[in-house]
Chains A and B, each alone.
Chain A
């Protein structure tokens, strides 16, 4: 297996991009990634996208996007695993380069979510749960995470203020990210006064509906110096795992088994320990998700991450900065693009080019991207070269 590096990154500002189509969003991010490293060709591409059929009435987006990027006839395929689609597109690209099938591979993610109304968007996102035995009963995605929050609260005594502190932290980080959808500070009071979506989760506990794309370019590490002007960032660990699709089929709701298994694989492969991680991007689709994710991947003991945001531990400048990009909460969550944007944040941190968001002396970073109620998780560990 060959060592693999990320050499190019590209991402436009996320938000409600009324003037841009699915294909435009993708092409502009892909071009930025190509220009960032200056490669003159692509051998293959993977695009994470959860539900273009439901959001845009368009399937078969692999060739569509290759066509509009002007790179046909290279292989191009969409990767789908709900909100983990982007992270898994990255893993596919990584495995293809590591295995020696291709040298220069684009891993991208895109979701154009505002071409349908809120009701249709809620339906599309709900298809990541068990349609026949969960969604049918009238439970929404915020509802499923509300059950996880209740379970955590009952077990460890978490408060709604602790949950709100996660949103407040991620908004304070997003304020420093020019590509974030919301560059606005919020307070605990604002979170608690926002409308209840699914008790105990308020509107400001939830990540938003977002249009956006992100793209990165991978190549063999030994060719990275020649191909790119940037310091290469090496992929040292990759793990992917699954769990039951229905939340009710699990023994514990607040511990994400797929996240634990994916992280275990990634840490083993990277030969590093959780204590060596300098900066982390985790999948905070809801405030409670950040807390459960941090514990499940082993960065906190079970029950210990609940107050981490409120205590400043996970803030920029804290002991373990989490979601310095603003996370899904503030940067936005175009579902298929999220996993790639996490990789981009870590690459910028390890290159030392994250500006106001820079974590001092960041050498090793981790991304955690999950789909559904953690029925899928993909974890990557990256290291500065």
Chain B
């Protein structure tokens, strides 16, 4: 992965930076130039809250390149408490205990490595809320 591409994505991957439409209040993640809700073009910058719930998940048994050492792993759609849905891995969890609806917290983690000596890309993954607090 070319460093400028990874660098450009830091605000979303590291800090969940989003934008909220000044007209209809819809939150866009990643930020957009046109609001998908009302077509508005003025936004306030904001950060997404890190709490949410698991909507749907799957266990990946045939992983793509760069994820071989993690397989099998869970990935799914997480709805954050402000209503925004994201796709990410669900980790630090017994895969047999995962259930739709369970509370999750978004953490900062390494996502993939570009070979032995290439760039390491970081980003967000979800962990169970209970274990996180204990």
CA A142 – CA B63 in complex, angstroms? 10
Q: Mark A192-206, 1 if CB is under 8 A from B, else 0.
A: 000111111100000
Q: In A122-175, which residues have CB < 8 Å from any B CB?
A: 122-123, 126, 132-140, 142-143, 146-147, 150-151, 154
CA A137 – CA B75 in complex, angstroms? 8
> Is B77 engaged at the interface, CB distance under 8 Å to the other chain?
yes
> Is A249 engaged at the interface, CB distance under 8 Å to the other chain?
yes
CB neighbours (8 Å) of A136 from chain B are 111-112, 121, 123
CA A150 – CA B121 in complex, angstroms? 29
CB neighbours (8 Å) of B56 from chain A are 147, 150-151, 154, 253
Interface size class of B (residues with CB under 8 A): 20 to 34
**B123 pairs with A138, CB closer than 8 A:** no
- Smallest distance from the beta carbon of A165 to chain B beta carbons, Å? 20
> Is A248 engaged at the interface, CB distance under 8 Å to the other chain?
yes
CA A126 – CA B123 in complex, angstroms? 19
CB neighbours (8 Å) of A138 from chain B are 60, 63-64, 66-67, 70, 73, 75, 89, 111-112
- Smallest distance from the beta carbon of A124 to chain B beta carbons, Å? 11
**A198 pairs with B65, CB closer than 8 A:** no
**B65 pairs with A134, CB closer than 8 A:** no
Q: Which of B59, B86, B112 contacts A248 (CB 8 A)?
A: B86
CA A156 – CA B6 in complex, angstroms? 40
Among A139, A146, A198, chain B packs the most CB atoms within 10 A around the CB of A139
Q: Which of A119, A146, A248 contacts B58 (CB 8 A)?
A: A146
Give the residue name and chain of the B residue nearest to A202 (CB).
Answer: B61
The 4 closest A-B pairs by CB, nearest first: A146-B58, A199-B59, A248-B85, A196-B61
- List 21 A-B residue pairs with CB atoms under 8 Å apart, sorted by A's residue number: A132-B9, A137-B87, A137-B123, A138-B64, A138-B67, A138-B111, A139-B58, A143-B75, A146-B58, A147-B57, A147-B58, A147-B77, A150-B100, A151-B56, A195-B62, A199-B58, A199-B59, A201-B58, A248-B86, A253-B56, A253-B77
> A-contacting residues of B (Cβ < 8 Å)?
9, 30, 36, 56-67, 70, 73, 75-77, 85-89, 100, 111-112, 121, 123
